Structure formats: structure tokens, C-alpha cells
Structure 1
Amino acid sequence: MQIDVYQLHRHAWNRKLLNTYWFLVMLQLPFEFLYSFTAKRDLPSTLSHLASSVLIMILILILLETTNRYYKKLLDYQIISGGAILSFTIIYFNYEVDLVALYILLPIFVSIFYHQLSKIVYSVTLTLLSFFILFTVRWSVLSDYTLADMLTILPVLSIITIIVSGIMKRGVEILDDLRTTTELKQELLIKNIIMDKLSKTDALTDLYNHMTFHEYLDELIEQNALGHFRIHIALLDIDNFKKVNDTYGHRAGDAVLKNVSSTLKNHVGLNDFVARYGGEEFAIIFTEKNTDEVFDLLERIRWQISQAKHAELNEHAVTISIGLCEYLPGTSKELLFAGADQSLYTAKKTGKNKTVIHSAPLKEAN
């Protein structure tokens, strides 16, 4: 199932905005009480004032919470609307406080989080509506505000709308730039991974290449010096491969190389390392296995290859010869390869299609 990341983020922000509304209501409670106290209202008036304003705000939040749980389709607009009603309620019950009118901007600031011009326009419309309703039912009767004072809200809100829209557009531009930069970085990373893979693998067989094979073997020998573990090298060569190319063509020869490579990859263990060493020759590094285990595995590979029919060869099979040598701590890599190569030479000269283990002691050349 594909997850819509945008929807997840939007739901998360809606939850945060709802939490902010709850915080606003809880924060407003002591200020409502303090305002009633400083206004020298009697206790019944104070309690009535608090009950009316707080009850309305809590009912609004409960309605928003219910919508958030059961009907999220238009939750963005409902949260903006809830902010407008909350601000209206706070101003309506605290109209005598000079700075309380700033709450009228709450839905506009909330709409910024959605980065959509339609929601900004919607919030500004609600703000204007709230403002003129408040003027009609409160300020025109209970304050010194005049209609001319109220009309100044139009240019102020226009400027605020322009600024908010600019902030939103700039945020969208930053997100687009970030998305483009991220995509470019991902594309570059993928290219680097591909280039790294191409530099380490053989294009035809998708096995590791000659250079990577030696790098890995050098690292294993260094680790072996720190803590001894068994290492075996096997050199494998397809028998009579030149005849395959001469008889069936190089395309058929390439198909055989791919098939043999696939067999090798499917039979070795996770800790083993297979490479195309060159031409029709392959090399395998076996780790943490004894000689009998490696020999049995190579024999299964050799038998499997000898039984596989190739459509490119008119359903004929090919065989491989294998030379195996175990690494002895303290000896050189060159000596290890010499032992495996000598065993491979013996397998070739004694009938092919066999595995020969190097048994003579490894000695450095004088």
C-alpha cells in the first residue's frame, strides 16, 4: 500500500493546530479570571462571564476534535473556521481590553501552515466577517470606535494578506528548491552507485572483476593476520571454450559465460566471493570452510555445469576444470595463486572436467 506522505504531514499539522487551540483556551482561563477581577465584577458576574466564554470555546474544540476523528475531508477549512470562532469569542467577551483585537488575525496565521492561497483568502474573508459582526454587536455600542475606524481594517488586512501570501509563496519556492536539490543529490548518488558498481563488476556476467577480486583478497589476507580463519582459492576454467566460440560464435560463447556465472552465484555461500578472472576463467574465494567442504561444493558446481544444456550450443553442455588451493598464514598471495593455477593446469592435462586440490607444500620462488 502506497503511503501519501503529504496527507500524513497535513494530518500531523492539523493535530498540532488543534493542540495549540487547546493550549490557547487553557491559557485564556486565568486571563479571563484576572480581567473579571480587575473589572471589579461581582462573583456571579465573573462566573457567568467565564462559563459563557469558556463553554463556547470548549464546545468549538470538541466539535473540531470530533471532525478530526470521523470526517477529515474538509478539516483544514474547519480548523481555520474554528480559529475564527475562537478569536471572535475571546474578543466578544473581552472587548474592553485594548489589544484583544489582535486575536482577529488568528485564522490568517493558521492558514499560512497550509501553503494554499485559497485557504488564505478563506481566512481573510472570515476575519472581515468576524470584524464587522463584532463592530455591529459590540464595538459600535460599547466602545469609542467609529465606522471610519473600522474601515481602516480593510487596508491593514490587505497588507497582511499580501505579506502572508508572499510568505507562503516563498515557502513553496524554498520547498521546491529543496525538492529539486534533493532529487539532484539522489540522482547523483544513484549515478555514483552505478559507476562504483560498474568499476567493480564485469559487464557481461555481473560478477566482480579481476581488480576487485584482488582488492578483496588482499583485505582478507590482512584480516587473517589479525585472527586466523581459513581461506581457499579456486580457479575455474571452461574447457575447450575457444572451440565453442569458433563453432557457435561469440554470442553463443557470451551466453555460456552468463549461464556458468549464474550457476556459480547460485551455489556459493554468502561469505564467498565470485569473480570473472579473465576470458573464460573464474575465481572464487571461500572463507570459513574446510577443504573437504569446499571440494564437495566445487564438485556440485562442476557437475551442475556439466549437466546444463545450452540452447545456443544446440542443447550441448560445457564442462569446467577447477584448481583449488588453501591459503597458509604467512605465505604470499602470489604463492597462493600459483598453487591454485598449478592445480588447474593439472586438471586440464589429466582429462579436464575435474577438480584438483593442490597438495604439495607452498614454497616461495628463489
Structure 2
Amino acid sequence: MQIDAYQLHRHAWNRKLLNTYWFLVMIQLPFELLYSFTAKRDASLTSGHLIVSVLTMILILLMLETTNKFYKNHLDYQIISGGAILSFTIIFFNYEINLVILYLLLPIFVSIFYLQFSKIIYSIGLSLVSFSILFLVKLRLLADYTFIDLLTILPVLTIISIITFGIIKRGVEILNNLQITTELKQELLIKNIIMDKLSKTDALTDLYNHITFHEYLDELIVQNALGHFCIHIAVLDIDNFKKVNDTYGHRAGDAVLKNVSSTLKSHVGLNDFVARYGGEEFAIIFTEKNTDVVFDLLERIRWQISQMKQEELNGQSVTISIGLSEYQPGTSKELLFAGADQSLYTAKKTGKNKTIIHTAPLKEVR
């Protein structure tokens, strides 16, 4: 994914550089016309220069566009080379203008965008080759350039190269620092997510813990006041769990807790909430289900757990008792939980391994 993002970013910059070349050609032509008329060039020479110059530059750009369309991954050096040829063409046909020689810097400036030293060196080499050819075929003969002028360009290009290398080095440092900062932020984000998860879940069963259960229930009751919907609480307790620990050890007891937790998670819906309330006791919040549906679901859970052969208990199974209570608008969560807890107590006292629904009206104790 990172490589793909880099490729897309590079292609986008190549497109921008190509657009810049087109813009350069568009603004260069009016200036050449203006200079031709003010310098009183021969009309036939002016038209000939313009035609050849325009055709050359357009041909270069069309070749670059073709490369960009069919060979995107090989365009970087062609972009730099195209800049060198464009600058060569402009200088060749406008050698009388003293400052036109500055176009030699075009490929060097273009190479900066790639943030790679190899491309800087390549662009500097192209600029030196371009100036040498211009000096031999045009500038020395027609523009009164001397060998000293040829030598003078070397320290200028050297200074520009040093500055360019400095810009690239600084740019790479900034990118590296940005990458390090981004990685640190990602690590911190991951740590915060982990810490948040640890603060909300039980380490053994990976269910939500006691505190998170109450936070979620509080929020549901607030939402219920805004728009009524069904809320049920089921409190589940593993029967004779102390005997399991005493007989088979706490490690076996932990394994049983994990197995029961896994069964609970596999049966509840996306809008339901399962928590380890404490010890061998669990709590489930059901939403948007009526009492009959919730009861049937709890009975399936209870039956499946009773049929599970616990390997840590030498193939023996465990059972659970369940108390269920439905939330009535206007009552408190404490009263709701007390109703489920009272039903659980009844289930325990009347034989265990059963589900009892709290049927008495939920009333606040005054």
C-alpha cells in the first residue's frame, strides 16, 4: 500500500511538471514574438525561427505525453531530459538574449521535485552537455561567447548544485522526521487503543468488565428515555463453581470461565452486550428483543453449556443458572439489576440449571 501511494504521488507530480512545460511553451512564444519585433529581426528569419522552435518544443512535449500514457514508471528521467531539451531549444533560437542562458537551470530545478541525488547529478550533467554543445555550434560563433564564458558557467552550476543538494538533503531529513513522527503517533494510537480495551475488558475472558457494563447500561437507559425500546438484563452464574476450583484447581476453573464466555459471545447479537460481572457471574444486556425471544435465547445458551464436555474437568460438564429482568421506563438500573439478581437467586434455590424471569413489578423502594 505504501508503494502504491508513492507511485500515485510520483505520477501526480510528473503530470504537474508536464503541465508546467506546456505552460512554459505557451508563455515563451509571445515573448519571442515581442523580442523579434522590438529587435527588428528579419521577418523571414523570425517566422522560420518560430516555426522550428514551436515544432521542436511541441514534438518534445508530445513524446513526453506518450511516455506518460504508456510508460508511467519510466517517466522521471524523460521529464528531466525533456526539460533539458526544451531549455536547449529556447536558448538555441534566442541566443541574442543575455539572460536566456538561465534556462540551463530548468532541468536542475525540475529534478528537485524527485528528492533523489541521482536525478540531481543527471540533470547537472545534462545542463553541462547542453551548454557545451550550444557553445560549440551557436554561442561561440554568433553570440560572442568566449572560452572564459564556458568556464564561468562551471562555478555557477557548482553553486547551484550545492544549493540543490542542500535542499534535497533537507527535504529528505524533513520527510524522515515526518515518517518517524507519524510512526510514533501510530504506535501511541495503538497503545491507547490497547489501554482503552484493557480498561474496558476482562483479561481472562475478553468480555467487557463490570465498570463498562454499568457505563453501557446507563447510556442505554438515557437513550430509552428519548425513544422507548426493549431492554432486558440477564444475570448468569456457573453452578457449584467453588467445587470446580476445589476439585480440579483454579487453572481448570479459568478454562471453564473461558469456555462459558465463548459460548455467550457466540449466541448474542450485535446490539447485545456481554460482560463478566465478577468471579463466575456474567451479565448480558439484550436490546430490541421481546421477553419470549430473550428467554428462548437464554435457554439455548443454558442447554448448550450443560451439554459441553469440559476437557479440564475430565469430560464433565457444568451448568448455569440465569435470572432475567425487563427494564420498565422510569425505573433505575439498580432496580432492574436487582430484579434479575433476585430471579437468579430463585433459580439457585429451586434446583439450579434453569432460567427464571422476574415477573413482579419493578418498584422503587421509598
TM-fit CA distance, 1:72: 4.0
Which residue matches 2:164? 164
Deviates more, 1:8-17 or 1:272-281: 8-17
- Give structure 1 regions of 4+ aligned residues with deviation exceeding 4 angstroms: none
TM-fit CA distance, 1:27: 2.1
Corresponding letter in the other structure for 1:200? K
Which residue matches 1:224? 224
**Partner deviation per Cα, 1:25-71 (whole Å, 9 max, x = no partner):** 22222222223332334554333221100111111112222222333
C-alpha change, 1:173 and 1:286, in structure 2 (3 Å) is same
Corresponding letter in the other structure for 1:49? H
Which residue matches 1:196? 196
Corresponding letter in the other structure for 2:87? S
TM-fit CA distance, 1:120: 0.8
Which residue matches 1:87? 87
Corresponding letter in the other structure for 1:253? G
Which residue matches 1:344? 344
Which residue matches 2:210? 210
TM-fit CA distance, 1:170: 0.2
SS of the aligned residue for 1:283 comes to strand
Deviates more, 1:206-215 or 1:111-120: 111-120
Deviates more, 1:61-70 or 1:322-331: 61-70
Aligned residues: CA RMSD: 1.5
Deviates more, 1:39-48 or 1:112-121: 39-48
Deviates more, 1:322-331 or 1:217-226: 217-226
Structure 2: how far apart are the matches of 1:72 and 1:327? 64
Structure 2: how far apart are the matches of 1:122 and 1:148? 24
SS of the aligned residue for 2:309 comes to coil
The equivalences for 1:104-253 within 5 A come to 104-253=104-253
In the alignment, structure 1 residue 46 sits paired with structure 2 residue 43: no
Structure 2: how far apart are the matches of 1:221 and 1:187? 36
Structure 2: how far apart are the matches of 1:26 and 1:168? 29
Which residue matches 1:276? 276
Aligned residues: 366
In the alignment, structure 1 residue 18 sits paired with structure 2 residue 26: no
- Which sections of structure 2, spanning at least 5 residues, go unmatched? none
Structure 2: how far apart are the matches of 1:345 and 1:3? 61
Deviates more, 1:205-214 or 1:255-264: 255-264
**Partner deviation per Cα, 1:75-107 (whole Å, 9 max, x = no partner):** 221211111000000110111122211111000
Deviates more, 1:14-23 or 1:213-222: 14-23
**Partner deviation per Cα, 1:109-132 (whole Å, 9 max, x = no partner):** 011111111111111111111112
SS of the aligned residue for 2:115 comes to coil
Deviates more, 1:222-231 or 1:196-205: 222-231
Structure 2: how far apart are the matches of 1:66 and 1:257? 67
TM-fit CA distance, 1:357: 0.3
Corresponding letter in the other structure for 1:54? V
Corresponding letter in the other structure for 1:204? L
Which residue matches 2:260? 260
Identity of aligned residues (%): 82
Structure 2: how far apart are the matches of 1:35 and 1:353? 101
TM-score (norm 2): 0.96
Corresponding letter in the other structure for 1:182? T
Structure 2: how far apart are the matches of 1:163 and 1:53? 31
Structure 2: how far apart are the matches of 1:110 and 1:3? 22
